[in-house]
């Protein structure tokens, strides 16, 4: 049982239902997963979360498969079962192979190990890593 | 000051120096960053860590730039300054653009947000996400 | 199945039962939740935990509803399902509205996002934030 | 040295400068802290982060002091030095007393302790905490 | 349902089965727990993980009971239910008493509390703790 | 600069100074590290923290060296620099060798890796690990 109920369409406020319509249109499917149906209890939170997510995960420099793989990696590090499952499904749907998933897992495991070693030993940052970015990023403007 | 000293080549055990030689050969550079020089205080730990890392980050299904970006994402989630700096440098060296870094950051931020929301609300996993993988991965053998 | 059994009153040591009596008196209810019944396997740990908790969550400068909301926020960040559920219930019992819970969730999500961005980018602390507290807190004595 | 440079106004893209103008107007001060000056390297990320933040931290059911205190609590749990410092300053500016900060700290410490104990012992959730919310929240519509 | 299936011996690649044979020989039992049966979907990841684990947890300066207790403590801090359960079982099998488990839990709880307080207050490291190790560790060579 | 000032003895409330006297007596040294001098700004928090800590770290079933090593392991997992440094120093003072520290680090790294793998793959808990403790712990009474 979730903290807020999983709302059916007809149980939510009109402003929440409008967000679900956006999600359906963007994803080209009628299916809405539970995350959005629970967030729908707070229409403003639902709307803000969906708008940010669709902007972040929309077309850009990285391909959608890589974006979902990054999402999975963070979700593992944050121990979120729901997010691990939903974004692994999304990554597979965008073409991630099982071999790629295996490499992702190996990297998450390896990084978790060296992250702790570097922290445990308080390794000083090498000068070369702390140097300013040579030639700051050209202002990416819309 | 790190917990163990940053060892110069001549201060370490021969077995540790041998690992540094491997790192130099693999990376085609004489430069060895502090992480390895601190680990060198425990030659067995140094050797095991380097061997696993070079296997995990070596050639595979994912390209090296994506591998380093996954490493950065996990290092951020684990709050490891040293690793954030060293692997951001490595990702840039492997071709990550500043626009790609911007997308990586946006994904790490977004995932951290929805990870907490899903956990906070205890959203039940949709049946479709918990379903068994249709057609298990063909045994990937060497 | 928990790591230690959920003890009924008659299964625990007298010193553990005495703590449960304190909890019942303080909370003005006979109901004791599982957390305490599992801790009762180690009476000293039970006693110390209850005494600290009742001191920390007792009357003070902050009102009880805000205290429970802070408890919920930390429990989300630490991914503790049991604590999220028990302290959300406690916060509601102390008057937290669903609109307030929605704002709490939005803040936890937002902070998790900007926490990661500030860490990822290694933003230098502004001088104004690192400045000493003007006029140290007057010694709050009992 | 941050991962991206701390940009002066004249170094950023016009779209980033426009966001800084919004921040100045909202906060009624000319001072812009480093977090925003570093994010300004990616104008879209800057804009989205500011818009979400100002919506989340704006007027609502909770008072601004409590909102900032929740932000501080999460930032501590996530080990973000920058955010701890900037939001502790913000909470003080909104009226948090040092006694209230002391209670916040005590709660963060206590919750971190019981979070780990409940997780360590795998305490089963009591039926009463998993029960559905009696009377779901009335649709809060705008 | 796990992300990858729990493979029976006859469903895995020969190279994975060979690792399971090693585990059985090392542990002197036919029983293989699910962790290894799921990892078996990626034979290289399985092999590397088992080899590192058996090296790390094998004979050394610390006794096996203490090694497993350290493993449990980290698993609690990382909120991994599977690992908490499997390594608590392993620690008990290696002689950890329930009184020792109680002390372990008390330490994990206490450390989680003071870790957050030190971070929250940004306590400056005392000079004496940052001092170099007097007499660096003699090179431990094989 | 810490969030609260590092107080000299003569700057603190008498009730805080009394706690420092207890610490000095228990540790048989005049030196008081910064953690306590910062906590001294809130005498009640100082007193409760010290009393719990001295009880938890005092004589018991585990030897003091092992207790400090568990403290270090948790502090690494929680990324607390101050605590890593102060408790590594304490563990060394109680007899931890550098070889033991190396094993501790290897275990923390290994556990961090398998914790993430088990979480990532959502490995189902084996029945044998979820079984009730055969013969509950005899009530340990004072």
CATH of the domain at E66: 1.20.1290.10
Size of interface B-D (CB pairs under 8 A): 21
pLDDT reported for residue F131: 76
pLDDT reported for residue C141: 54
For residue C137, pLDDT beyond 80: no
pLDDT in tens, F33-81: 999 999 999 999 999 999 999 999 999 999 999 999 999 999 999 999 9
pLDDT reported for residue B131: 76
Q: Are residues F37 and F65 in the same domain?
A: no
Residue C140 maps to a domain = no
Q: Are residues F45 and F66 in the same domain?
A: no
Residue D129 maps to a domain = no
pLDDT reported for residue A132: 67
Residue C92 maps to a domain = yes
Residue E133 maps to a domain = no
Residue E135 maps to a domain = no
Indicate the pLDDT class of residue F135, thresholds 50, 70 and 90. very low
Distance CA F1, CA F113 (A): 35
Q: Are residues F5 and F53 in the same domain?
A: yes
pLDDT reported for residue E31: 97
Residue contact B15–E141, C-beta within 8 A: yes
Q: Is E69 on the interface with B (CB under 8 A)?
A: no
Residue closest to A90 by CA, chosen among B111, B81, E61: B111
Give the C-alpha distances (Å, rounded to integers) separating F18 from C99, F14, F23, F24.
Answer: 45, 6, 9, 10
Distance CA F36, CA E126 (A): 11
Whether the pTM exceeds 0.90: the reply is yes
Q: Are residues D67 and D113 in the same domain?
A: yes
Mean pLDDT of chain B: 94
Residue in F76, F121, F122 nearest the CB of A119: F76
CB atoms within 10 A of CB D27: 12
Q: Are residues F5 and F28 in the same domain?
A: yes
Report chain D residues whose CB lies below 8 A from the CB of F45: 102, 105-106
Q: Are residues F93 and F107 in the same domain?
A: yes
Helix (H, G, I), strand (E, B) or coil at B137: coil
Residue in C1, C15, C16 nearest the CB of F131: C1
Q: Which chains have 3 or more CB–CB distances shorter than 8 Å to chain C?
A: A, B, D, E, F
For residue E22, pLDDT beyond 60: yes
pLDDT in tens, A104-132: 999 999 999 999 999 999 999 999 998 76
Q: Are residues A85 and A102 in the same domain?
A: yes
Distance CA F13, CA F3 (A): 18
Residue in A45, A78, A79 nearest the CB of C102: A45
Give the C-alpha distances (Å, rounded to integers) separating D1 from A132, A133, B127, C76, D19.
Answer: 6, 9, 47, 32, 23
CB atoms within 10 A of CB B97: 15
Helix ranges restricted to H, D31-96:
34-39, 43-57, 64-77, 81-93
Q: Are residues B2 and B48 in the same domain?
A: yes
pLDDT in tens, A80-106: 999 999 999 999 999 999 999 999 999
Q: Are residues F7 and F46 in the same domain?
A: yes
Residue A52 maps to a domain = yes
Q: Are residues E29 and E79 in the same domain?
A: no
Residue closest to E64 by CA, chosen among E41, E93, E84: E93
What is the arithmetic mean of pLDDT over C83-92? Answer: 98
Three-state secondary structure of chain A: CCCCCCCCHHHCCHHHHHHHHHHHHHHCCCCCCHHHHHHCCCHHHHHHHHHHHHHHHCCCCCCHHHHHHHHHHHHHHCCCHHHHHHHHHHHHHCCCCHHHHHHHHHHHHHHHHHHHHHHHHCCCCCHHHHCCCCCCCCCCCC
Chain C interface disruption, residue of E79, E105, E111, most C CBs within 10 A: E105
Residue contact B120–A3, C-beta within 8 A: yes
Report chain E residues whose CB lies below 8 A from the CB of D77: 116
- Let me know the angle formed at the C-alpha of D86 by F8 and B101, rounded to the nearest 5 degrees: 130
For residue A138, pLDDT beyond 70: no
ipTM above 0.90, yes or no: yes
For residue D11, pLDDT beyond 50: yes
pLDDT in tens, C48-74: 999 999 999 999 999 999 999 999 999
For residue C140, pLDDT beyond 90: no
Q: Are residues A39 and A22 in the same domain?
A: yes
Residue F131 maps to a domain = no
pLDDT reported for residue D141: 53
pLDDT reported for residue D131: 76
Q: Are residues F2 and F40 in the same domain?
A: yes
Mean pLDDT of chain A: 94
What is the arithmetic mean of pLDDT over B42-51? Answer: 98
For residue C136, pLDDT beyond 90: no
Residue A140 maps to a domain = no
The number of distinct structural domains making up chain E is 2
pLDDT reported for residue D135: 47
What is the arithmetic mean of pLDDT over D80-103? Answer: 98
pLDDT in tens, D58-71: 999 999 999 999 99
**Residue ranges making up the domain that contains A111:** 61-122
Indicate the pLDDT class of residue D130, thresholds 50, 70 and 90. confident
């Amino acid at each position: 049982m979730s903290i807020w109920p999983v709302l059916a369409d007809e149980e939510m406020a009109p402003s929440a239902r409008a967000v679900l319509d956006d999600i359906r249109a963007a994803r080209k499917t009628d299916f809405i997963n539970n995350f959005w149906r629970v967030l729908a209890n707070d229409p403003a939170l639902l709307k803000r979360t969906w708008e940010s997510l669709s902007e972040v995960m929309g077309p850009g420099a990285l391909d959608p498969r890589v974006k979902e793989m990054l999402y999975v990696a963070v979700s593992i590090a944050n121990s979120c079962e729901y997010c691990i499952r939903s974004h692994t499904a999304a990554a597979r749907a965008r073409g991630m192979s099982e071999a790629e998933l295996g490499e992702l897992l190996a990297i998450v495991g390896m990084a978790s190990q060296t992250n702790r070693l570097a922290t445990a030993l308080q390794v000083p940052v090498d000068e070369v890593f702390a140097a300013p970015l040579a030639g700051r990023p050209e202002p990416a403007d819309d």
